[in-house]
Structure 1
């Protein structure tokens, strides 16, 4: 049924183009798409605000504006002006004002701005925080936010310090302890992240957490790091109870705002507890819990703390799915969540009392939920065939109504392919789910080359979402059948499946990869001699494993690969260290699963790609791999982006990336010329 549905959708889009000549979903088209961010709904349920980002190739950057939508579908207009960098909109409790984070042209750092919703007016800057603001929440009479400060300095001194940091001539960083980095940011160990508040009508800024001796995690802070009860009597924060960067234990603490006393609600659990959410009446605090330290893919369970009795209750303990993106239902009887579930993110309702989790949505992906006081639920919906859209969701029957029309004009002239979900038998007889993408005009009587994609993580899944960086429909438009498959270790298929590759990252995913290739080779429409594979991060690890083992691929694309598990100690986290020991403690693990130990067997032509600012997988991993390939006499190419991180995010660099990948795979697996994209590609 899914394949029939997407075939019809593709035909309707093509027909809508009228007499125009349809274009393929090229990399250039990807950068014309308006990218819709997390929507927020007004308390009354009639208005929705969403950030929308557009990109300018000449300027090589994007600009985000806030747009106002209505839940009846009649309104779609911009709220903020061109040239104002904005993010994180939140409504006031009465819905009459909107707060957001913004940076005007004369501002050095982002602050809180407030805009009236009932009548025309200019946004007024509320805050003057020298260290900037993030993760704002409007509760009661205050706006709450996070700022990273120097705890021993007064605000005036911090303003001077910010200026000094900006103008300093010495570029050195100094660390005495971990962590020193996270993804693409160097961490200043002298600064701490704390929760603050400011009266919505203006006034003094108050630090609510400094006196506790706790701080938010240095690694990352966000809206999931704290929450405030509706009556403002309690504050819940996430902090490291061990206060050690190498082996943190993130716990949920409860305190009265500004009090020096904070009570640890999760002391008995040594694995992470995080993402606190107060119920609408403030009597309950929901949060996520994991049970295995050092395993980020561990199931994220739902726990509810009762403030009066001080009891924690794990809900739905037998349910083998992670609870993500939680928002409370207005009644307080349960929560809505966006759940990674067998290759699709579905909305579930999770009752606090009796009853099992209830699925609300089925096909295509849903996330980024926001709920109004009257129960109106909105969120983001997307699929492989269309980018994120703002929708309302009927929580009773899963009915979906689209609220925006962004990108309709663009996609009316785009000729899309089709896709379907299939299942094949992988390692140890397990069922492996795979998304197969067919090029526009796919004809089963013809032969097509295969481009098999290896996802990163490894403990996440490829779900039915629109990917901007690795778009399978774009790859397919070049004249390839393209596929993502959720090998052993992927999320959304149960705890045992996700944990089945630890600590052996190699065996089962490699077997699944070969089985996926064999499945395609058995199809009459695949050219068995024209196969390539491509992956990044852990997918780059898996591609590097293929280099040292038997496989059917003519060439590989290897982006930001985990190549040498010994030198991966330079990364911002330790791959197996917390749970299974470092290489000097458990040496038998590392040589058996590290791709570099199989270098004597490398012979497959490989395109290696990496960004300098990647601190999750340091750039030396690709440098080591490329040198090895060259010393081995293997045809290879290294592409290095000095201004990119783990991902290629800048528009023109992205166009170059897509062009280089296309040129490489076409050298070793000729596209089906009958469906080859006509749009130009930057090379």
Structure 2
């Protein structure tokens, strides 16, 4: 009987993925056939858009090329970087006649700046030879600015020698005497600092910008959004921590007149993070985002402006119950456009500075990566659950989207991805909870289908109407499951009170919301309540571990990158912070109530445990501890361990394996398909 069951599962996992109409299903394999479009960059005159496009092959290799899309009505589009030469971070020159980008070519040991004429044809020319590599490009005036992780007070030659010595001495140790020591999937070198540099676009010597100030940029996760240069090239704004070495760093915005060796901290009065500085088109104002709760990433970001003329500082839209993100200045300097989490969508909003209420200019789907031309042409990414990222312009009056690319059209035309809808049900204490419900291709409401309940991470994030590669709900639906993804209490985009409602109690409301979602769907004639499973990652894995020890209707669980022991989470790069539970030695009772390992006595549901070795957000020991607990208790369980993956499963081969493991597990306990 066991052999027969294994054979059935094997056939389920490997059978041809075709819909009844002969089209291909949206399988995991199809996900990896799709090309992934990065953030678009529009030229100053709005006539050209450059997009990084990444493709993957069956050998687990990826390649990113830059594509030039015409915004002149011709529909012209072409790759402008050669195959075999990865390219990223494109920026236009102020005149729009050249493009700078980062590439690692020929004998480059690290990524360098290359220049390419936009008119074409032409070969890319190398501008830098920085041994520590470059990142986070900006082109302002005559200079290209970039960030590099360097040893302070060392010449480039000395740094090259040091890099060579590190390769040859075979010492792998890291040492630390302060925080932070890690970020997401890698450990930080305490001897190195992130600094800003610039080089004339015409060629010349690299000039340090922040090192002479005695201030480094943030120690981890730095990018082009961490600094800006005024349009006249006279001022620099950048983000650094005013509390170096602290357990919880406080990002502050500093302003300096270039050439001056003393920078001013503009935000010293705010103990929480200030970030994303942006000069206005006329250079007279500096905008940035502000949070007000220390160490709490779920705090709504508010829009701030600082006047360079008189030092006036203002907070805008303080009473608006949304957080600002993805901001770009309007060309006339009267406001911004931003991509705002809004009721399980991400919409483009107009955010004025005159005190009037921000208003959405798009209605559905998920928008991101805004880029604004000097003449007001607004370019964005747009995606939905049924289509990967598209690139186009957004009409700032009507919100109409004019698509410029044709990426993935051929692949998606052959796919039957099924359908989906947004529903609202009653959750904890009768609150309205939004949920995405995805239906299999060929869905027949007169049949009964199994349910796969997905539990999102965060918890202070949301499932938007977007195309998810790592947890694609339509792929799960293509296996024959109605797939549901609720935005439970704590999710963003539904107001700050909704976010705050689960702190410090991470369990009660989200658990109740998920159970209510299962009850809501079980009442539908097309759901077989005897074939229900649930799956979650990160916080979703944490809540799945809680569900494991409580009453629930699920026949099996998939628990990915789960926090199982809150005490042990102190070792993570993003540890349990003061705003949630406080330190465990001060609030042991909260940890006992909120930590899944205290519910182990009630564990009995078959569970698939998944974890990556390089996960520093939720260290891998969490997964091993949960698996050993289940095995010790005799609960049917399986551990999938990836020695080369982090919090996410990112390589093609491992991703296909991950989807296969999940499919085999849920199929074993909840047979797929309508009956």
For normalisation by structure 1, the TM-score amounts to 0.95
Provide the C-alpha distance between the structure 1 equivalents of 2:530 and 2:55, rounded to a whole number of angstroms: 41
Aligned counterparts, 1:194-343, within 5 A: 194-343=195-344
Show structure 2 runs of 5+ residues with no match. Answer: 1-17
Confirm or deny: 8 A CA contact 1:83 1:105 kept in the other structure: no
Aligned counterparts, 1:142-181, within 5 A: 142-181=143-182
Cα displacement (A) at 1:607: 0.1
Provide the C-alpha distance between the structure 1 equivalents of 2:217 and 2:418, rounded to a whole number of angstroms: 45
Provide the C-alpha distance between the structure 2 equivalents of 1:179 and 1:128, rounded to a whole number of angstroms: 29
Structure 2 residue 399 is the aligned partner of structure 1 residue 414: no
- 1:121 corresponds in structure 2 to 122
- 2:12 corresponds in structure 1 to none
Provide the C-alpha distance between the structure 2 equivalents of 1:578 and 1:86, rounded to a whole number of angstroms: 40
Aligned length: 657
- SS of residue paired to 1:31: helix
Confirm or deny: 8 A CA contact 2:19 2:25 kept in the other structure: no
Structure 2 residue 386 is the aligned partner of structure 1 residue 385: yes
Provide the C-alpha distance between the structure 2 equivalents of 1:46 and 1:570, rounded to a whole number of angstroms: 49
Cα displacement (A) at 1:579: 5.7
- SS of residue paired to 1:535: strand
Provide the C-alpha distance between the structure 1 equivalents of 2:229 and 2:202, rounded to a whole number of angstroms: 19
- 1:66 corresponds in structure 2 to 66
- 1:132 corresponds in structure 2 to 133
Cα displacement (A) at 1:580: 4.2
* 17-26 or 159-168, larger mean C-alpha shift: 17-26
Cα displacement (A) at 1:586: 1.6
- 1:450 corresponds in structure 2 to 451
Provide the C-alpha distance between the structure 1 equivalents of 2:168 and 2:534, rounded to a whole number of angstroms: 46
**Change in 2 beyond 3 A, CA 1:432/1:673:** closer
Cα displacement (A) at 1:164: 2.0
- SS of residue paired to 2:55: strand
- SS of residue paired to 1:561: coil
* 68-77 or 198-207, larger mean C-alpha shift: 68-77
Cα displacement (A) at 1:165: 2.4
Confirm or deny: 8 A CA contact 1:211 1:259 kept in the other structure: no
Show structure 1 runs of 5+ residues with no match. Answer: 1-16, 675-683
- 2:56 corresponds in structure 1 to 55
Confirm or deny: 8 A CA contact 2:53 2:64 kept in the other structure: yes
* 261-270 or 249-258, larger mean C-alpha shift: 249-258
- 2:11 corresponds in structure 1 to none
- 1:33 corresponds in structure 2 to 34
- SS of residue paired to 2:228: strand
- 1:494 corresponds in structure 2 to 495
Cα displacement (A) at 1:354: 3.6
- SS of residue paired to 1:331: coil
Tell me which stretches of 4 or more aligned residues in structure 1 moved more than 4 Å.
17-20
Cα displacement (A) at 1:219: 2.2
Cα displacement (A) at 1:187: 0.3
Provide the C-alpha distance between the structure 2 equivalents of 1:542 and 1:358, rounded to a whole number of angstroms: 35
Of the two structures, which has the highest relative contact order with CA contacts closer than 8 Å and spacing of 6 or more? 1
Cα displacement (A) at 1:245: 2.9
**Change in 2 beyond 3 A, CA 1:81/1:480:** same
* 67-76 or 415-424, larger mean C-alpha shift: 67-76
**Change in 2 beyond 3 A, CA 1:315/1:448:** same
Cα displacement (A) at 1:19: 12
- 1:679 corresponds in structure 2 to none
- 2:111 corresponds in structure 1 to 110
Confirm or deny: 8 A CA contact 2:317 2:355 kept in the other structure: no
Confirm or deny: 8 A CA contact 1:209 1:215 kept in the other structure: yes
Provide the C-alpha distance between the structure 2 equivalents of 1:73 and 1:432, rounded to a whole number of angstroms: 45
- SS of residue paired to 2:322: coil
Cα displacement (A) at 1:73: 4.8
Provide the C-alpha distance between the structure 2 equivalents of 1:424 and 1:39, rounded to a whole number of angstroms: 37
- 1:594 corresponds in structure 2 to 595
- SS of residue paired to 1:588: helix
- SS of residue paired to 2:415: coil
The two structures, once aligned, show a CA RMSD in angstroms of 1.4
Cα displacement (A) at 1:20: 8.6
**Change in 2 beyond 3 A, CA 1:297/1:663:** same
Confirm or deny: 8 A CA contact 2:344 2:493 kept in the other structure: yes
For normalisation by structure 2, the TM-score amounts to 0.96
Provide the C-alpha distance between the structure 1 equivalents of 2:130 and 2:611, rounded to a whole number of angstroms: 36
Cα displacement (A) at 1:74: 1.8
Confirm or deny: 8 A CA contact 1:293 1:579 kept in the other structure: no
Provide the C-alpha distance between the structure 1 equivalents of 2:167 and 2:674, rounded to a whole number of angstroms: 53
Confirm or deny: 8 A CA contact 2:610 2:641 kept in the other structure: yes
- SS of residue paired to 1:174: coil
Cα displacement (A) at 1:248: 1.5
**Change in 2 beyond 3 A, CA 1:526/1:598:** same
- SS of residue paired to 2:623: helix
Provide the C-alpha distance between the structure 2 equivalents of 1:542 and 1:100, rounded to a whole number of angstroms: 42
Provide the C-alpha distance between the structure 2 equivalents of 1:560 and 1:215, rounded to a whole number of angstroms: 32
